[in-house]
Amino acid sequence: MTDAAPASAPATYDVVIIGGGPGGYNAAIRAGQLGMKVACVEMRETLGGTCLNVGCMPSKALLHASELFESANTEFAKIGIEVTPKLNLGQMHAQKNDSVTALTKGIEFLFKKNKADWIKGKGRITGPGTVEVEAKDGTKTTLKAKDIVIATGSEPTPLPGVEFVPGKVVDSTGALALAAVPKKLIVVGAGIIGLELGSVWRRLGAEVTVVEYLPRITPGMDSDLATAFQRTLTKQGMTFKLGSKVTGSKVTKDGVELTVEPAAGGTPETLTGDVVLVAIGRRPYSAGLGLETVGVETDKRGVIVGDHFKVAANPDGGGVWVIGDVTTGPMLAHKAEEDAVAAIELIAGKAGHVDYNLVPSVVYTFPEVAWVGQTEDQLKADGIAYKVGKFPFSANSRAKINHETDGYAKVLADPATDRILGVHIMGPQAGEMIGEACVAMAFGGASEDLARTSHAHPTRSEVVKQAAMGVEGWTMQA
């Protein structure tokens, strides 16, 4: 690691990357592997970006711990284990933080291994091939590079009329570090982030109400799956207020008052809670990057637009590249990683491409929900014919003996060619199982390929095989 500091002459690199999250650090590692001299500019005290520091990783640590806590309270007795669990929230946060620290140190090691420099500070493009880095103490240094990669990620989208108040009205970062379990938690936004963090605090004892502007949860998820998912979350204890618009908030000595009215118009009402989590999405972190100095533009949402990664060309043949949340495509860490490899390999003169239709999405609740490819809603809207195969976890041997029977797998395929169009799973370890579908679809596989591939028995993954068999109507276990 190098802190930004004044220098008599600019340090020169093949590639300078602005942002050290999943896109940025993977780009730096790949560039190092390909023999490039590379620097990664990151303003946080640790590498890893939102995902590792205040997103994917700490949330999964709390999801895992809270799931075990709930199982100890509700499931252990059924299988002959009698315990009286007691929550130690401080220790739960401590183990989460220890895990995050270990992972950030791991990235620092990978930087050293691949000879990538970490320049600590805030990066800003000042012209073609030039990046100015401002350190925390205000000192500045200049880096020169043939190619610049923007990997600045995204930040929580604020909600008009609702001001953040530490410990009371929080974003996802604040919800990961609450000092006590709220008696009542109101989650604004029924997307992946809101439902995951809402699940954490519900398991630990909070009464959770989810307010969503749309008439359904999890936009982008297959609506059939979303309906089943909402039913399961409701059974677990979550309350949903769909088609509802939040218009304001007020912090009182007793908590937070949230003003809500029907999205279609109507009489407002007041909801009260100890904590309000605003999780209405994320927006690209594209302001203050000096984009205007190289002729790069953003759309009205702040997304950097351009032609497949490269958004500006330099006279010397290099240019400005953009990857991850700050450009088009799903705002997912693993999408940013794929962007990173593709962009760096293009810079190196190799082929580079990412098919966003094959980037899976996962909700890490219990049960998990995972999907890849097109939904039934999309196929219907586009007038595309398809066949469906479904299989429930309630008919899967491993799920039944583990008392994990909520959910199902669904395979969508082309009726003429049998090519897989989409796979959707709600159930235990759905996020682990979706990879099989990604591989099959990447190779242009048919539902019959999944159906005739041997799956170990008894495993949960057999639901995917059986669902694929169902496309042609020969499911054998239900």
Non-local CB neighbours of 237 within 8 Å, separated by 6+ positions:
202, 207, 208
Could you read off the pLDDT tens digit of each residue along the chain, which spans 478 residues?
666 544 557 899 999 999 999 999 999 999 999 999 999 999 999 999 999 999 999 999 999 999 999 999 999 999 999 999 999 999 999 999 999 999 999 999 999 999 999 999 999 999 999 999 999 999 999 999 999 999 999 999 999 999 999 999 999 999 999 999 999 999 999 999 999 999 999 999 999 999 999 999 999 999 999 999 999 999 999 999 999 999 999 999 999 999 999 999 999 999 999 999 999 999 999 999 999 999 999 999 999 987 779 999 988 789 999 999 999 999 999 999 999 999 999 999 999 999 999 999 999 999 999 999 999 999 999 999 999 999 999 999 999 999 999 999 999 999 999 999 999 999 999 999 999 999 999 999 999 999 999 999 999 999 999 999 999 999 998 7
C-alpha 224/C-alpha 211 separation (Å) is 20
Q: Are 249 and 256 in contact (CB under 8 A)?
A: yes
DSSP state of 343: H
Domains, the chain, ranges and CATH? 12-70+80-156+283-357 (3.50.50.60), 169-280 (3.50.50.60), 367-472 (3.30.390.30)
Omega prior to 367 cis, within 30 of 0: yes
**Tokens encoding 469:** 């068999």
C-alpha 149/C-alpha 112 separation (Å) is 20
Catalytic residues: 457
Q: Are 131 and 16 in contact (CB under 8 A)?
A: yes
Omega prior to 22 cis, within 30 of 0: no
- Output the CA–CA distances (angstroms, integers) from residue 348 to 27, 37, 327, 345, in the order listed: 12, 12, 21, 5
**Tokens encoding 165:** 């108040």
C-alpha 36/C-alpha 52 separation (Å) is 25
Q: How many CB atoms neighbour CB 287 within 10 A? A: 11
What residues form DSSP beta bridges with 15?
38, 147
C-alpha 428/C-alpha 430 separation (Å) is 6
